[in-house]
Amino acid sequence: MSSQIDLRELGERLHQLLLEQASLTVTSRIAEVFLPELLKRLPRSFPTVSDQHLIASCAEDALLEYLARPEKFDPARGTLLTYLRLLARSRLLNELRRKNSTGQQEVVAVEEAETVYGVASGADWDESVRLSEHETEQRIAAKLRPIVTDSTDQQVLELMLEGVRETSAYAVVLGITEQPVSEQQRIVKQHKDRVRKRVQRKLGPRGWQV
């Protein structure tokens, strides 16, 4: 919780510097702090989206949109990270819906409490986010458990929902840590794709939102 509060306070300070144009390095500092957070958290909302380039592009676009119009962000309604996630999620949903309309992409979107901009503020906001994220993960697991029945695939899915991207973490679950890195990457991708397709087949082309 302390790290969330620190991030909230840092976001408020950087936002004020940006509004006042009081620092030549504030834009790069905002990108340095918040872009990695977006890239870590955004995939949790879209566990079946394998296009990491698309996710990264939407995260970067959200950051640029904020930097171009920082006055649209209201710190009284939520954290800067929440606002950026809202922008990025909206962009990504639009892209996925466009692909879905042409049969290119099936969408499974997980609605996370933290993307609800303006629910609370201050310490209460951070605590509600922490509890809601935990509750959301439990609800996701409960929904997907009947779909993904293999115990190994369930562990892979849990890592995907947590936004874990490191191959090494999946390699431990799959018991392939002794394999060459290139082979680990191939096997991990194969398992992740299989889990995504299984979920997509069960949920249908309209996807699932909780």
- Of the listed ranges 8-12, 177-181, 192-196, the least confidently predicted one is 192-196
Q: How many CB atoms lie within 10 A of CB 23?
A: 12
Query: Is position 16 within any domain?
Result: yes
Same domain for 126 and 68: yes
Q: What is the pLDDT of residue 97?
A: 79
Q: What is the pLDDT of residue 84?
A: 93
Q: Encode pLDDT of 38-47 as tens digits.
A: 998 888 777 7
Same domain for 132 and 150: no
Q: What is the mean pLDDT of the chain?
A: 75
Q: Encode pLDDT of 123-136 as tens digits.
A: 443 444 444 445 45
Query: Is position 209 within any domain?
Result: no
Same domain for 97 and 10: yes
Question: How far is it, in rounded angstroms, from Cα 164 to Cα 41?
Answer: 9
Same domain for 107 and 29: yes
Question: 125 is in which domain, residue-wise?
Answer: 2-137
Domain boundary among 95, 113, 137: 137
Same domain for 149 and 118: no
Amino acid at 17: L
**What's the total number of domains in the chain?**
2
What 3-state DSSP class applies to 68?
A: helix
**3 band by pLDDT with thresholds 50, 70 and 90:** low
Q: What is the pLDDT of residue 174?
A: 95
Same domain for 169 and 108: no
Query: Is position 68 within any domain?
Result: yes
Same domain for 156 and 122: no
How many helices (H) and strands (E) would you count in the chain? 8, 0
Query: Is position 105 within any domain?
Result: yes
Query: Is position 171 within any domain?
Result: yes
